[in-house]
Amino acid sequence: MKLTNFCWLLFSSFVLLYSCAKRDVVLFDFENKGYQGWMLQGEAFGEAPATGPLEGQLPVAGFAGERLVNSFHGGDDMCGEMYSPEFVIERDYINFLLGGGMGADVFIALEVEGKRVFETHPVVESETLQWYSWNVEEYLGRKAVVKIVDNQRGGWGHILVDQIEQGDKAKSVIMPDYEKTFAITQKYLLIPIEDKGPESQVVIRQGTKRLSETLYIRVAQTQIDYWVPIDVEAYKSQNITLWFQHVKAGDIGFPRICQSDSFEFDYAEPYRPAYHFSPYYGWTNDPNGMVYQDGKYHLFYQHNPYGSMWANMHWGHAVSEDLVHWQHLPAALAPDDLGSIFSGSAVVDADNTAGLGKGALIAIFTSSGKRQTQSLAYSMDGGRTFTKYAGNPVLTDADMIDFRDPKVFWHEDSKRWVMSLATSQTISFYNSADLKTWMKQSEFGEGVGAHGGVWECPDLFPLQTPDGKTKWVLLVSINPGGPNGGSATQYFIGDFDGKTFKADALPYPLWLDYGRDNYAGVTWNNAPHGRRVFIGWMSNWDYANQVPTVHFRNAMTLPRELFLQNSGGHLVLASRPVDELTQLRGQVVSFPIQRISSKGASIDNLFEGNTGCFELEMVVVPNGASKFGFGFVNSKGECLNYTFDREKMCLELDRSKAGRSDFSGKFATVSQAPLPACSEYRIQLFMDKSSAELFVNDGEVTMTDVFFSSDVFAGMRFFSSDLCNWTVKDMKVYSLEKIR
Ligand code: FRU
């Protein structure tokens, strides 16, 4: 062939190719200062396309040109719908950019000759738009309209749309209905996680059989922060499928999911407590189902085994014989078709009142699905395995949205089980003879106590007063609305007759703990010797999901025994660390009496080999000084300061310079507690790497706070802004041992 002929052939094939690949047709680019022929209803879409984020919205990215459709006008609660002018379908695909919320009532739809043929919801909650595509081959030549809908109120109730085009190719990299099957040869499937990435919806299947409810897992898209295991040992030499609602082509995580016989990670990462209970890995919030049976304290807890952020609520499980050393056990309860497993309690049914077995350990918890309802599960092997009761749910309410956290105990006088349940901003009391049928008896809380947020996690129990009378204490956690911001636990003291709780006239709200990090705590059922032992969640919903830990997030407070004590003319609820903790004491250093002038004083090194785990005891004598205090200091210049203000009669904790606080604007705060009026203060303080628990006068006032310092607080300083000298006496520091 001659060269000219060859060139001619090449040229004509290019022309042919070019004319086959028809150019994209832009249907709507929303670049004008009006909606140009679209029909609008409602206010959410405003008068014209937006130029980016609207007031109160996070940054919006990923749109084309200068403008986009944004239904955040007036915030998430505004609703609206918009219809496009009619157009003819001329290409195989319609591509568009989409972002916003994932709710059922935010979507973009295609209607062909009046019939809806596609309805697409964003697959992640995001203010960054990405390409989506509809394959419309079968509708070529037909007339269509696009409808954009935002009828969703509340969080993420808005939609973002831009650049609706017709073209020959799909532009979306979203692969819906993606699945991967593994022939199981090892113990775990390891999943790479990106902590701040969006959640993927995952179902574990075997063939067509579902082995799990939908799990929300942050499978890595751009970086791997840590791994989580799915235990598949029971399926060795069988096939297991992971189904994903969608994946994005190019995400790095999906191809890296692998099998392994071991699950290794840095258990001792810097902020992991040494002697507080923390989950082996993954997220925790409230302690649950605390009960003592056959020599063992059971601690269940709100747990996400698939990541270090709140999601997929299971009941994790641990047991201890001494409240100090904990053995981690496999998760006790996993989500089911009634919902995820929210907080609740456990009892030992010694007389088989429920007919589920004599001595059964019965968990009563909230199933949180479309509604919140109460369910049962029982165990005949000391909590190792649970069976969900076939008649679940056992308690429902048609209207209540916040209807949760049942705490049940046996009320001997009325020979009935009593349940305290959080019902919005009150606590409702129910009773039952068999744990299965519950009758409402009364409701407490209107017009009394703090009401700055939703009421959660109640607990009702009797305690002896110092003069030997019985009084009933009702714990109620509240979020937000705590005395120092965010979550906290208030209490009421009064009488209970098996049906109704009547609070004594006291200066409510009264707080169990004035620190920022003691929430959702309740007490053990059946603890031996009539002890009332409490444990709380050592975090705050203000920042719990953001604290800078990796393989685990959040821990529990120390276990504490509760007492009624007289203070300031009335009864208060005091918390004292349980005696069992003294077994952790290692070396002890005693310090001589110190008189602190306005020059201050300091101790550079409390003891050799300090790893940030110690207990401090001392007596603080003000001697007329009005503002003074002590603090912990480290080599990086960070400090955690406690200030006694005898004029304002308050005790202040300042953690704003105690280390990292960049992860949340709500963390670097100064908290205040009321200071009892007395001539000396007995101080007991427990430090554990990233937490400090202060007990004043045998727990009359407590402050529990976490912090994230860059080095161990090895030294102390004492300060005074007053001419009077104050005194520190009987000061001792004990190093404390690790529990695992
Ligand atoms: C309290 C709480 C409970 C709920 C649980 C869900 O922190 O909100 O009311 O049962 O957490 O994890």
- For 305-335, the pLDDT digits (tens) are 999 999 999 999 999 999 999 999 999 999 9
SS3 for 686-719, per residue?
EEECCEEEEEECCCCEEEEEECCCCCCCCEEEEE
On whether the CB atoms of residues 190 and 227 are closer than 8 A, the answer is yes
SS3 for 285-347, per residue?
EEEEEEEEECCEEEEEEEEECCCCCCCCCEEEEEEECCCCCCEEEEEEECCECCEEEEEEEEE
- For 101-126, the pLDDT digits (tens) are 999 999 999 999 999 999 999 988 88
Task: Classify 72 in phi/psi space as left (phi over 0), alpha (psi -120 to 50) or beta.
Answer: alpha
Residue type, 265: F
Average per-residue pLDDT in the chain?
Answer: 95
Q: How far is the CA of 261 from the centre of ligand 1 (A)?
A: 34
Give CA–CA dist 97/110, Å, rounded.
14
Q: How far is the CA of 220 from the centre of ligand 1 (A)?
A: 27
Phi, psi dihedral angles at 418 (to 5 degrees): -120, 135
Say whether 464 sits in a helix, a strand or coil.
Answer: strand
Structure tokens at 117: 């043929």
On whether the CB atoms of residues 540 and 480 are closer than 8 A, the answer is no
Residue nearest to atom 12 of ligand 1 (CA): 342
**Ligand 1, pocket-test mutation among 345, 423, 457, 459, most atoms within 8 A of CB:** 457
Give CA–CA dist 550/226, Å, rounded.
7
Give CA–CA dist 378/265, Å, rounded.
33
Q: b vs e for 217-249, b when ≥16 Cβ sit within 10 Å of the residue's Cβ? A: bbbbbeebbbbbbbebeebeeeebbbbbeebbe
pLDDT score of 569 = 87
| Host H or E run for residue 18 | helix 3-20
pLDDT tier at 1, thresholds 50, 70, 90: very low
Least Cα distance to 52 among 201, 172, 213, 162 occurs for 162
Ligand 1 atom at minimal distance to the Cα of residue 457:
9
**Ligand 1, pocket-test mutation among 372, 403, 404, 535, most atoms within 8 A of CB:** 404
Q: How far is the CA of 342 from the centre of ligand 1 (A)?
A: 6
Least Cα distance to 515 among 705, 376, 685 occurs for 705
Mean pLDDT of 247-268: 95
Structure tokens at 635: 């080599």
Residue nearest to atom 8 of ligand 1 (CA): 456
Q: In sequence order, what are the beta bridge partners of 347?
A: 362
**Ligand 1, pocket-test mutation among 301, 342, 371, 545, most atoms within 8 A of CB:** 342
On whether the CB atoms of residues 99 and 142 are closer than 8 A, the answer is no
Least Cα distance to 492 among 458, 537, 523 occurs for 458
Mean pLDDT of 599-627: 97
- State the pairing for strand pair 39-42/80-83: antiparallel
Give CA–CA dist 485/511, Å, rounded.
13
Give CA–CA dist 705/517, Å, rounded.
5
| Cβ count near 192 (within 10 Å) | 23
pLDDT score of 154 = 85
Least Cα distance to 164 among 223, 52, 82, 103 occurs for 82
Ligand 1 atom at minimal distance to the Cα of residue 422:
9
pLDDT score of 15 = 47
Residue type, 350: A
Q: What is the gyration radius of the CA atoms in the chain, in angstroms? A: 30
pLDDT tier at 22, thresholds 50, 70, 90: confident
Pocket of ligand 1 (CB under 6 A): 285-286, 302, 313, 342-343, 366, 404-405, 456-457, 520
Ligand 1 atom at minimal distance to the Cα of residue 344:
10
Mean pLDDT of 445-456: 98
pLDDT score of 155 = 84
Ligand 1 atom at minimal distance to the Cα of residue 366:
10
Helices vs. strands in the chain: H and E counts, helices first: 1, 54
Tokens 């898209």 correspond to 221
* In the predicted structure, residue 375 carries a pLDDT above the cut 50: yes
Residues acting as catalytic residues: 286
Count the helix, strand and coil residues of the chain and give each as a percent rounded to the nearest 5: 5, 50, 45
Structure tokens at 16: 């042919």
- For 379-437, the pLDDT digits (tens) are 999 999 999 999 999 999 999 999 999 999 999 999 999 999 999 999 999 999 999 99
Give CA–CA dist 358/350, Å, rounded.
6
On whether the CB atoms of residues 205 and 279 are closer than 8 A, the answer is no
Mean pLDDT of 160-178: 93
Provide the 8-state DSSP code for 16: H
Give CA–CA dist 602/591, Å, rounded.
12
* In the predicted structure, residue 557 carries a pLDDT above the cut 90: yes
| Host H or E run for residue 131 | strand 126-135
Ligand 1 atom at minimal distance to the Cα of residue 302:
12
Q: How far is the CA of 404 from the centre of ligand 1 (A)?
A: 8
Task: Please list, in sequence order, all residues whose beta carbon lies within 8 angstroms of the beta carbon of residue 682, skipping any fewer than 6 positions away.
Answer: 617, 619, 696, 697, 698
Mean pLDDT of 272-277: 98
* In the predicted structure, residue 276 carries a pLDDT above the cut 70: yes
Task: Please list, in sequence order, all residues whose beta carbon lies within 8 angstroms of the beta carbon of residue 380, skipping any fewer than 6 positions away.
Answer: 357, 359, 360, 361
Mean pLDDT of 70-76: 95
Mean pLDDT of 127-137: 94
Structure tokens at 514: 């004035």
Torsion of CA 317, 322, 327, 330, to 10 degrees: -20
Least Cα distance to 716 among 611, 596, 606, 597 occurs for 606
pLDDT score of 198 = 83
Q: How far is the CA of 374 from the centre of ligand 1 (A)?
A: 14
Q: How far is the CA of 343 from the centre of ligand 1 (A)?
A: 6
**Ligand 1, pocket-test mutation among 286, 303, 315, most atoms within 8 A of CB:** 286
Contacts for 376-382: CB closer than 8 Å, 24+ residues apart: 376/435, 376/436, 377/332, 377/333, 378/349, 378/354, 379/332, 382/293, 382/294, 382/296
Q: How far is the CA of 283 from the centre of ligand 1 (A)?
A: 13
Task: Please list, in sequence order, all residues whose beta carbon lies within 8 angstroms of the beta carbon of residue 631, skipping any fewer than 6 positions away.
Answer: 639, 640, 641, 642, 716, 717, 719
**Distance separating the N- and C-terminal Cα atoms of the chain:** 82
pLDDT tier at 196, thresholds 50, 70, 90: confident
Provide the 8-state DSSP code for 138: G
Ligand 1 atom at minimal distance to the Cα of residue 405:
10
Structure tokens at 612: 């940030």
Residue nearest to atom 9 of ligand 1 (CA): 456
* In the predicted structure, residue 7 carries a pLDDT above the cut 70: no
- For 668-715, the pLDDT digits (tens) are 999 999 999 999 999 999 999 999 999 999 999 999 999 999 999 999
Q: How far is the CA of 43 from the centre of ligand 1 (A)?
A: 35
pLDDT score of 2 = 52
pLDDT tier at 611, thresholds 50, 70, 90: very high
**pTM of structure:** 0.88
For 613-680, list the strands marked E by DSSP.
613-621, 627-633, 639-645, 650-654, 670-674
Phi, psi dihedral angles at 422 (to 5 degrees): -80, 120
Provide the 8-state DSSP code for 480: S
- For 262-271, the pLDDT digits (tens) are 999 999 999 9
Least Cα distance to 86 among 124, 104, 113 occurs for 113
- For 466-509, the pLDDT digits (tens) are 999 999 999 999 999 999 999 999 999 999 999 999 999 999 99
